[in-house]
Structures are given as C-alpha cells and as structure tokens.
A and B are shown apart, each in its own frame.
Chain A
C-alpha cells in the first residue's frame, strides 16, 4: 500500500503537465475568452466594471484550477468530508451573519470578494457523496442506515440554502446529490416512488412557496399574463433570442440588450444576449463547446481506476449539464425563472470559483487516473 502511494507520489511536475486533458483545457479556455467578449458586450462595447471584474476572476481562478489539478485525487478523496463540513459551516455562518441583498441573505464578505457558499456546496456535495459511495459496500447501498445518511447529506445543506432563500441553487444542489445516489446504485424503485410522492405532495410544496416564487410559476405557465410585470423577463428574453435568427444581429449589435430591455443580462440572462448577437449558429456552437467539456469529463471518469474519481467525474459532468439545461430552459421560456447561472459565461465569482475547482478535481483525476484509492 505504501509503495503504491509512493509510486503515485513520484509523478513529476512534468508528467502532471503532460497528463492534463488538453481538449478539456482548451475548451475551458475558449469558453473563458468567449465569456470575456460577451461580458464586454453587456457593458455596451466598453471595458467597464463587469468586463474588468470578470477578466480578473478568470485570471485568478484559472490558475487555481491548475493548482487544484496538481493535488493527487487521493488528497481530494481524503478531504471530501471535511470540505463538505466546512461549506456547511459557511452556510450556517451566512444564515446568521451573511450580507443581505434584494431580499435574500446568501453572501459573506471575504474582503477581496464576496463569497456565496451555496455555490461551493454544489461541488462539496458531489465530493462528499462520491466518497461515501466509494467507501460503502454495494450490498449496503440500499440499507436503511445508508439511505438515511445520504439523504441527510443532501437535505442539511438544502435547508440552509432554501431558507436564504435561494430556490434555484437548492434545486441544483439536490439534483447534483441525487445523481450520485443514482450512480451509486440506489434502487430504481426508490427513485420512482419518491418521484410519485413528490408529484402528490407538489400542491403542498407550492403552498409553502413564497408569493414571488408562486408568481414565477404562474408567469412561466403564461408569460403574457402580466407582460410588464412578472412576465417581462421571459417575454423580453424570448424576443431577444427569437430576433437573433440564424446568424444573429452581430457582435455588439443586440438591440434588446443595448436598449436595456434585457433584465440581468450579466448573470442569468447572459445566454440571451449571446444568442441575440450570434444567432442560432452561435448558440448551437456554444452548446457544442459545452458538450465537448461534458464529454471529456465523462471520459476522464470512465478511465479512472478509483470509484471516487469515477463518481465525481460522472456526477460533476451531470451537474454542469444540469446547470446549462436549467439556465437555458429558463431563458428559452421552458422552465420557470429560477436564479441559476450559466457556468463560466455568467458574471459571478462564487459560481466561477466552484466551477473551476470542479474542473481542477476532474483534471486531478485525469492526471492520477491510475491511482487506486482504498
């Protein structure tokens, strides 16, 4: 065992660099460069606040990703529970001392930048559950104790996040957790039963929703109900995307965003601006870029020798996929508006930090894909 460890530790820096997944790396770089240009467009074709900040964050977090990648995957395995616990503590801290903004309390001031721990939880929960399912015997996966433990791991952070309140992030955390449960071998019937239970209890859940959340659902069902109020965002977003056409209106020429018709164009609706300016071709291109990233992550998972790395990569690939699907469905009017950023593209430090750490761990898994973890 020791020898094994020593052997893996003997990988030199040169080998590490050589073993990085360059297709994934190039895709992430491409996406980052694209995101800076789009951010430049949201600033009205000038290098202003958002463009600068976004660029600075990329400049800090991209090296961080490489830094994370150079740690052995075993290190991340060993620290998974602790990382999860730290993020839970941060969530508790935020729920008491967090910064409030537009009605919700989800941020903490780290002097250099404002951190949103719930974004980190998106990664932490995958790590934590991956480790749990890595260690548990397959026979015990469906035992009562194990189900209780994994559900607690999911539900505890969700309680904090939902009370911030932040429905979008809590849904993403829940989905990221559930996918590990699925991959870990939990019985399919449990998923079916709980899905049915969910459907039955849906009316009760809705009755617990905040009025603005109910309004969002109603608005989603009929955006024209209140075109200047709640439905405004969906309608304007659809107009922007639809008017983009095949080739788009051209870089810096998206009238909807230039004339301020688009809400939150830096964050959740960044795709709308992109799609208006680059059209169907650009949008599909962006989707292909994302697909390449997801595919590479899945592939790294598939070649990993340890189930922790495998579960993490598969889980993280699914999480990225879900972020994209939820965000695009929202701006395309297929889902109600829930705040969810588009990975890398959207303005927002915590989301980018979490995404980059995720990529870093995936790259670490690639570098150490032969690593066995007991």
Chain B
C-alpha cells in the first residue's frame, strides 16, 4: 500500500512536471516559427537580394568610346573591330604543346610566351588569357583554320579605338592607351568602369573629355557557384557608347596644313574670326596615334622621341616663339589708341637707330627713308617701330597686347599642355627678374623680340580680333549645344550687341577705343600683302574672292653678331638650329573677312619666303570650303 501510494505520488509528480515541460515546448516552438516568419516573410526581400548577390556575378566588358567627328561629321576618332586570341587554360589539354603551336603560327616572341605562362599561374583556370590583342586578318584566318588542333583557344572579336586619319589630328585628339594605376585612382568614373583591356585617353581631347567619351560597360550576368566558377549565362546588358563629340575642325584643311608643313617643324592655326571656331590646328611633325593602341614598340617610340623636329610637342599650344614683326599691328594699334601717333606721323629710317650708345638695326641695311605707319607696316620697317615703341612705352603696349589675348591661354583648360606665353611690362621684369626695365628692351619688344613669347594660336586669335573689327572672340574647338552662327556673331559684334545686352560684358568684348584705328591697321596689313614692296606681296591673291591681308614675321632665335650681319649669309649656309623662325599671320577674304590664320615654320628663314607662300595655298582651300561650312552649321547639336 505504501509502495503503491508512493508509486501514485511519483506518477503525479511526473505528470505535473511533464505538463510544465509541455507548455515550455509550445512556447519554444512558437518562438522558432516566429523566427522563421521574420526571416522568410519579413526579411525575404533582403535575403533574396543577398542570395542573388551570392549566385549572380557580373562581368563588365570594356565600354565603347564615343566617336569624335569633325565639323562635317567625318569620324576622326572611331572604333574598329579587332581580332584577338584568348586561351582558356581550363579547356587546354596540353598547354606546352599549344604554346609551341601558337608560337609557330603567330611568331610569338619568347618574352611573350613567358608572359603567358606567368598569367596562367596568376589567373583562375577559367579566366581567359589574352595571347594577342590585335591579330591581323590573315593571322585570324590562320588560327581559325587550325582551330581543331588548338583546343582551349578562343578567337575573339572586339572593339578598339581607331584614328582613321592617322597623324592628322594627333595633337588635337591625343591618343588612348592602357591606364596606369594612378590614372585609375584619380578618376572615379574610370575606377568604376575599369576592366582589364580597357583604354583611356592619355593626351589631348581624348584625355580632357574622358568622362564624356568613356561610355558604359556592357554587362554579362552569370550564375556562379561558391567557388566563382561560371555555371550559366543569365543575361547580357548592352553598354552605352560614350557621347559623340563634334569638333569645329575641318579635316580637309587640317590635312592640307599637314601637307604644307611636310618635313618641316612648325604650326598652322586657322580660326573663324566671328565664332572663334578653330578650323584647323596642326603641329608639325606629327606622329601616328594608332601606334599607341596596343603598346608602341621600343624602336618606334625612340624614333618619335629622338626626332630633332620634336613631334611630341604640340607647337600650336605649347610652342613659345618670339612673334617678330607679326606683333607690329598691335604695336601700331596701341600707339594709335593712345594717340601717340597718327597716320601722318613719320620716321626716317637710316637702317639703324642709336640709343644710349647701343645700335638697333632695321632688317633693311640701307634703310627705308621717311616712312609713315602704312609704309612701315607694309615694308615691316623696324626703325619706325623702334621709335613708336619708344614713344609708347612697354606698359601701354602691354595693355593692348593682353586685351588681344597675348600672355593668356587661348583655349582655357581644354589642353593642359597649353602655355600662357608672356607679354612683358616693367612690373613683370621687376617682380620676376628683379631688375629695372631698360628702354632698349622697349624697342626690341616693339619688333616682337626680347622677352615676349607667344604661341601660334595666340597670334591667330590676335589676328582674328583685328580682322573682325576689334571684338573679342572666344576660341573653341568643340561644337557646343548653343552654336552661334557666324551671321549672328558678326551682327551682334557690329551692332554692339554681342551675346548679351549687359553693357559691362559688352565693354569686355570691345577691344578698341576708336574703331577707326582698327580700320587703319587692317588697311596697313592689306598693303603689306597686296601692294608693291609689301613683304608678302609675292604671296598675294588678286582675285577678291580669295584676297587676304597679312603680316610677315621673322623671329631671331639668337642674337645676330656684327660679323654675321656683314656676311649676310644665305639660309642654307646657316646651321639649322640658328636659322630664324618664319611667321605669318593673315585674314581673309579682305572684303567681308571670315578667317584668320597664323603660320610658323621653325627655322624656316624669313616670314615672307617661308611662311607667307603657305598662306596663299591655304586661303584658296579655306575660302572654297566656306560655303560648305555655312551649310553645315545646323548639322547636329551635341551636348558636352
């Protein structure tokens, strides 16, 4: 009985305690269901995303760069299909045998083979190795013929930058090549879109407009396993090609510039005097940017680098030259504006001028006799300009010169290699050289020698601003989304309503005090080209359609010694390095002018012999293409 009693009591205890446990079980199970609910229902989206992130991997393909076209829509930087050869190590049966076969078929160097072996060791077995970036068509065909024997090899067609006009635009466009680490880190867009094999702009507009040209990556989505191996392709998202950029340049004229400067070092710039459109901007010699696309060979690079004519320098923007006599229109204008001289003012040229015991020579040893402004400009009489400069003073000259754009960058921040040049004044010398200005320096500044340094594009803009009647232009090389037609620009200049009615801005646009003075300079430049004894008379065109006005310049690169002056050597007898630079600035047509240009031939001798004849050939082409250009003006507007 006791035992059974005890047994019953024990059963009660067990049952009671089981009940407590049972309740606890229910609570715990409910807790687990709640957890399941929170993960699978509440946070389902989050975990779905994470699961997709796990299993879906994106492969970015190199973006396609935007095209760059000239004013007429001709592609000057485009894209070309290229054939490449990839190896997928995973699929290769016998890697060494394959390499031997490829070596024979493609003439691969031992270095290249070593590089492939190194890549193979570094990459995952399913990542492809690029054996050759740019196969020729015949190589590509050859590979395809032997494909049955080349297991694991994949001929690939892809897209690469291409410059159809080779060296014509190198200094404008620059080129593209593989980015280095720093370039990737510096630019967020490149960083984001970078994939191996992608090329970025290294120089020129290709570099400057990188963010517009770059385009977006095409994306391939693959399902991958936990080890990163592709299981299957899910989708392919097309990339967007980079923006198309339209330039103001004219390929025909640009090409002609290249031909005219063939085998010479120099530069030609052509500009629309109203809109500031740069029609051509050629620096000679140039080089082929296509060489850089797949890595330039050491030999080719040395050839470019060591060329004494310095093809790597963009002479139009970075070449600094004494303007020589091409500065004379500004000197004369400044003197007129400051009422130091008038048209009747005359100076007697005896071939030289003495000042404080120093002798300043005119280029014409016998002298020009009594000369007025027009004659002095026409014959480029140095003595006249010594005297004018002396009367004017360098500081007043400096103000006029800077107004016309000397000593300042022309294209602003578009080209980081562009130089500012220098137009000196007394303050500059004091601050930079720590010495006082000497009057003799004013005289040589008056004929464009001494401290003064200009870029060819500055001279072109200076000429343009004289040609358009003395109004500021804003040079540009890219057609923006608000292109101002030449008629509008001209009209607004002439009616004094350029761009804006804001009078202060208007004041900035007007570079003269009295427009008559501009007219006088224009006439003098006309005489210099179109009247007998003018320095560029031989290069004139009589047909009024093509008739142009200009000013020659001959810039000394070294001081001429007395002995050399007496010898009066022929150009060929002087060593190349010591020969004068030949310059010429001009605008045309003389009636209703449209275009200004500047020409520099390094060590070409005198401006009238080496530079002005080039202008004669060029003007015919420029003006013949004028109507075409006008029709084209509403061609297409592209936002940059």
Contact = CB atoms under 8 A, between A and B. Distances in A.
Interface of A: 133, 137-139, 179, 182-185, 236, 238-246, 255-256, 258-261, 275, 279-280, 283-284, 287, 291, 294, 298, 301-302, 307, 310-311, 314, 318, 321, 325, 328-329, 332, 334
Contact of B14 (A139, A183, A239): A183
B51 A239 contact: yes
Contacts of A239: 47, 50-51, 54
Contacts of B35: 332, 334
Contacts of A329: 32
B538 interface: no
A261 B32 contact: no
B228 to A, nearest CB: 10
Contact of B44 (A183, A245, A291, A334): A245
Interface of B: 6-7, 9-11, 13-15, 17-18, 21-22, 25, 28-29, 32-33, 35-37, 39-41, 43-44, 46-48, 50-51, 54-55, 223-227, 231
B281 to A, nearest CB: 55
A331 B11 CA distance: 37
Contact of A332 (B11, B32, B50): B32
Contacts of B40: 241-242, 244-246, 275, 279-280, 283
Contacts of B33: 284, 287
A183 B16 CA distance: 8
A256 B10 contact: no
Nearest to B7: A307
Contacts of A301: 18
A238 B46 CA distance: 11
Nearest to B13: A185
B76 to A, nearest CB: 48
Of the candidates A184, A245, A279, the one having the most CB atoms from chain B within 10 angstroms of its own CB is A245
A329 B35 CA distance: 9
Contacts of B13: 138, 183-185
26 contacts: A182-B21, A183-B17, A183-B18, A184-B10, A185-B10, A241-B40, A242-B40, A242-B51, A243-B44, A244-B44, A245-B41, A246-B40, A246-B41, A256-B54, A256-B55, A259-B224, A259-B226, A260-B225, A275-B40, A280-B37, A283-B40, A284-B36, A287-B33, A301-B18, A307-B7, A325-B32
A328 B32 contact: yes
Given A243-B48, A283-B40, 14 more contacts: A179-B21, A239-B51, A242-B39, A256-B55, A275-B40, A279-B40, A280-B37, A294-B25, A298-B22, A302-B15, A314-B18, A325-B29, A325-B32, A329-B32
A209 B9 CA distance: 42
A332 B39 contact: yes
A255 B55 contact: yes
A132 to B, nearest CB: 12
Contact of A241 (B28, B47, B226): B47
A307 B14 contact: yes
A185 B22 contact: no
Contact of B55 (A139, A261, A279, A298): A261
A343 to B, nearest CB: 15
Nearest to A137: B6
B44 A242 contact: yes
A240 B36 CA distance: 12
Contact of B18 (A242, A284, A298): A298
